[in-house]
């Protein structure tokens, strides 16, 4: 069925109602447009103002002199009914009367689905309804009855022509079975039988499909050879990505070309729906209205005003790390532009992805989504490459005698990547400051863990491996001692009850990241006076001193 409007005025009316009219109003207007359709005479002309008034109950100021022939108006109003009902998202069960699908209508009148398409062009009004979670073309029973009443001879003639005798049906099925066994594809089977029998290809296809549905255990030649498993669909998609042609895949899996295209599109849509699209939102994104404005947002970053000085390479770096210093650093303006571009692209991809129907994915929409996603990834990589030398610099300051420098760099690179995802450029801070904090925080967490793991496997024979005496303080030994002290304090604290433990910990800041609190602050947390906190603290300290003496430990008085 032709999808383009013959007159721009009706298309503009469609756009206005879809965008601005309430849902209930759109449903009402679709019904009014259908009533008008039943009254139009193809031989007459109608003012646009009259057509608009019959649909919307108001007279337009635009197109005052425009007139449409009855044939033009009928064509455009059928599209109008389908488009407006599509935007309303009406469930089939909410229609208030029986809703027939194309297949159901074909079975009712014993005609092919191609005949139903021809009837739609001849005046059968269709709408779009939500059926089984997806939007599909449907026909109200009243619309079907109206069409049959006006075109009874045409409907009867179509039914008589499409009726096959039992002998014809058996002959078609037997010939199709022989051709399928010989290796013919479903499309070839349909084409040969249509030429042989003088029937339309759609009639042959419908006959074979109906037989397959009635005898699923013997499916051998229909366009729908059973349901493909997810594994088979995955293989089709992978082999298509690797360059195998659609014709070859159709022969191998016994499907039509359109079936292969559909499987590839569905797999592609599934991959798009799984894309990670976390981004830092910004109010300016929703204000990008025009393509010109968007082109500035996602265009190249501003050029640096001052020439970049060549970076001085640290000594001892291998060639692949030294190459990082050839990538120029970003200026503040360039940095802000790239972060805005990356997050805006993800924002746009998310908005476009919301329009993607996984059951009926549109290739142009998927192309656009993937182009924007690739550009967002490319922008992120540009930011990362420009800051990799920062990781090297911080790793050199944190490497110790027992650490592997390259493992620190690798660990720091992961922290840098996470920082790029979480950085909010709109706050005005430099990314290097934020990234340095994130990398050092990760080092502070991972290096002590590494020391603790090393300490578990430490032996009493390590002095045999020492070739020279080193008077420097061993950071591993210091950290090990600190860990032992913390464990000893924890064992002593177990002598106290829960409230005494909490008071001592908060008063002396015994947990990492906590500062000591005053008696008044601790009292405010527990809901008691500071005098009561002092009494409990004194009692708890007495207990701790006794515990320390029993364990021959030193505890500050």
CB 70 within 8 A of CB 113: no
pLDDT for 334-364, tens place per residue? 999 999 999 999 999 999 999 999 888 998 9
Alpha carbons 358 and 273: distance in angstroms, whole number: 8
Q: Residue 60: which residues within 8 A CB-CB, separation 6 or more?
A: 13, 48, 49, 52
- Two structure tokens written together for 528: 């008691």
More confident residue, 3 or 550: 550
Q: CA torsion sign, 238 to 242 to 246 to 248?
A: negative
Q: Do 441 and 418 reside in the same domain of the chain?
A: yes
Q: Clarify whether residues 208 and 146 are in a common domain.
A: no
Cα 318 from chain centroid (whole Å): 40
- Cα–Cα distance measured from residue 127 to residue 61, given in angstroms and rounded to the nearest whole number: 29
φ, ψ at 90 (rounded to 5°): -80, 130
CA nearest 213: which of 199, 225, 202? 225
Residue 465 covered by a domain = no
Is residue 131 domain-shared with residue 178, that is, in the same domain?
no
Per-residue pLDDT band at 514 (split at 50, 70, 90):
low
Q: What are phi and psi of 426, to 5 degrees?
A: -70, -15
Classify residue 336: in a domain, yes or no: yes
Beta partners for residue 134, in sequence order? 131
Check whether residue 75 and residue 110 sit in a common domain: yes
Q: Are the C-beta atoms of 430 and 420 separated by less than 8 Å?
A: no
**pLDDT tens-place string over residues 195-243:** 888 777 777 877 887 777 666 545 555 444 455 677 778 888 888 888 8
Which H or E element spans position 252? helix 246-253
Q: Are residues 28 and 122 in the same domain?
A: yes
pLDDT for the residue 228 = 66
Q: Are residues 317 and 358 in the same domain?
A: yes
Q: What is the CATH number of the domain that holds 374?
A: 1.20.120.1810
Mean pLDDT, to the nearest integer, of 172-193?
Answer: 79
For residue 476, pLDDT over 60 is answered with: no
Burial class of residue 126 (count of CB atoms within 10 Å of its CB; 0-12, 13-18, 19+): buried
- DSSP lists the bridge partners of residue 131 as 134
- 156 and 191 belong to one structural domain: no
Is residue 273 domain-resident?
Answer: no
Helix axes 201-214, 166-181, angle to 10 degrees: 80
User: Which residues face 127 on adjacent strands?
Assistant: 138
Q: Does residue 304 sit within a domain? A: yes
- Are 132 and 18 contained in the same domain? yes
Query: CA nearest 248: which of 239, 223, 190, 228?
Result: 239
- Check: CB of residue 361 under 8 Å from CB of residue 369: no
Q: Are residues 447 and 323 in the same domain?
A: yes
- Provide the mean pLDDT of the chain: 80
| DSSP secondary structure string for all residues of 130-171 | EETTEEEEEEEHHHHHHHHHHSHHHHHHHHHHHPPPHHHHHH
- The domain total for the chain is 4
**Quick one: 74 and 199 in the same domain?**
no
Phi-psi region of 328 (alpha: psi -120 to 50; beta: other; left: phi over 0): beta
The DSSP secondary-structure symbol of 45 reads: E
| Residue 47 shares a structural domain with residue 134 | yes
- Decide which of 268, 299, 315 is a domain's last residue: 268
Q: How confident is the model at residue 325 (pLDDT cuts 50, 70, 90)?
A: confident
Q: What is the pLDDT of residue 249?
A: 82
CA–CA gap between residue 267 and residue 419 (Å, rounded) = 31
359, 423: one domain = yes
Say which CATH number the domain at 524 has: 1.10.10.10
* DSSP letter (8 states) at residue 310: P
Q: Report which of 124, 123, 125, 135 is spatially closest to residue 92, judged by C-alpha positions.
A: 135
For residue 350, what pLDDT is reported?
Answer: 92
Kindly state whether residue 556 falls inside one of the protein's structural domains. Answer: no
Cα separation of the two ends of the chain: 92
Both tokens assigned to 66: 């425009």
Domain range for 82: 8-161
* pLDDT given for residue 342 in this prediction: 94
Tell me whether residue 359 is in a domain: yes
Q: How far apart are CA 181 and CA 340, in angstroms?
A: 59
In a domain, 80, yes or no: yes
Distances (CA, A) of 451 to 2, 166, 439, 447, 477: 72, 84, 18, 6, 9
């Amino acid at each position: 069925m032709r999808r383009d409007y013959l007159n721009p005025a009706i298309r503009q009316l469609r756009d206005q109602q879809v965008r601005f009219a309430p849902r209930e109003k759109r449903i009402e207007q679709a019904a009014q447009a259908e009533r008008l359709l039943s009254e139009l005479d193809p031989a007459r002309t109608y003012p646009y103002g009259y057509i608009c008034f019959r649909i919307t109950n108001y007279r337009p100021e635009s197109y005052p002199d425009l007139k449409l022939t009855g044939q033009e108006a009928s064509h455009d109003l059928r599209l109008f009914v389908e488009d407006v009902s599509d935007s309303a998202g009406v469930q089939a069960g909410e229609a208030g009367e029986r809703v027939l699908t194309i297949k159901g209508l074909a079975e009712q009148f014993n005609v092919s689905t191609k005949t139903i398409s021809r009837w739609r062009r001849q005046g059968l009004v269709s709408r779009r309804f939500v059926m089984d979670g997806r939007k599909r073309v449907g026909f109200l029973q009243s619309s079907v009855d109206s069409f049959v009443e006006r075109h009874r001879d045409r409907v009867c003639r179509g039914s008589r022509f499409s009726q096959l005798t039992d002998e014809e049906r058996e002959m078609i099925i037997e010939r199709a079975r022989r051709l399928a066994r010989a290796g013919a594809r479903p499309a070839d089977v349909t084409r040969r039988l249509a030429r042989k029998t003088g029937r339309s290809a759609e009639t042959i296809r419908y006959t074979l499909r109906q037989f397959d549905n009635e005898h699923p255990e013997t499916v051998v030649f229909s366009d729908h050879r059973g349901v493909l498993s997810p594994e088979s669909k995955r293989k089709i998609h992978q082999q298509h990505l690797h360059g195998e042609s659609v014709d070859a895949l159709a022969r191998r899996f016994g499907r039509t070309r359109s079936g292969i295209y559909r499987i590839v599109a569905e797999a592609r849509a599934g991959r798009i729906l799984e894309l990670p699209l976390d981004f830092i939102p910004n109010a300016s994104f929703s204000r990008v209205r025009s393509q010109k404005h968007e082109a500035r947002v996602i265009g190249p970053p501003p050029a640096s005003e001052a020439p970049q000085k060549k970076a001085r390479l640290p000594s001892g770096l291998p060639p692949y790390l030294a190459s990082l210093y050839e990538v120029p650093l970003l200026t503040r303006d360039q940095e802000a532009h790239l972060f805005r571009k990356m997050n805006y692209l993800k924002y746009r991809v998310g908005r476009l992805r919301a329009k993607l129907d996984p059951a009926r994915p549109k290739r142009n929409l998927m192309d656009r989504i993937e182009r924007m996603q690739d550009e967002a990834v490319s922008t992120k990589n540009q930011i990362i490459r420009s800051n990799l030398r920062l990781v090297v610099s911080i790793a050199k300051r944190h490497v110790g005698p027992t650490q592997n420098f390259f493992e620190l760099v690798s660990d720091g690179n992961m922290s840098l990547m996470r920082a790029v995802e979480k950085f909010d450029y709109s706050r005005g801070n430099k990314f290097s400051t934020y990234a340095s904090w994130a990398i050092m925080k990760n080092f502070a967490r991972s290096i002590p863990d590494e020391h603790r793991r090393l300490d578990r496997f430490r032996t009493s024979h390590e002095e045999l491996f020492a070739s020279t005496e080193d008077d420097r303080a061993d950071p591993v030994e210091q950290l090990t001692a600190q860990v032992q002290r913390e464990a000893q304090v924890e064992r002593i604290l177990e002598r106290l009850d829960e409230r005494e433990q909490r008071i001592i910990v908060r008063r002396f800041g015994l947990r990492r990241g906590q500062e000591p609190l005053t008696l008044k602050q601790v009292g405010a947390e527990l809901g008691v006076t500071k005098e009561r906190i002092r009494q409990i603290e004194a009692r708890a300290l007495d207990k701790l001193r006794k515990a320390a003496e029993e364990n021959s430990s030193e505890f500050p008085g």
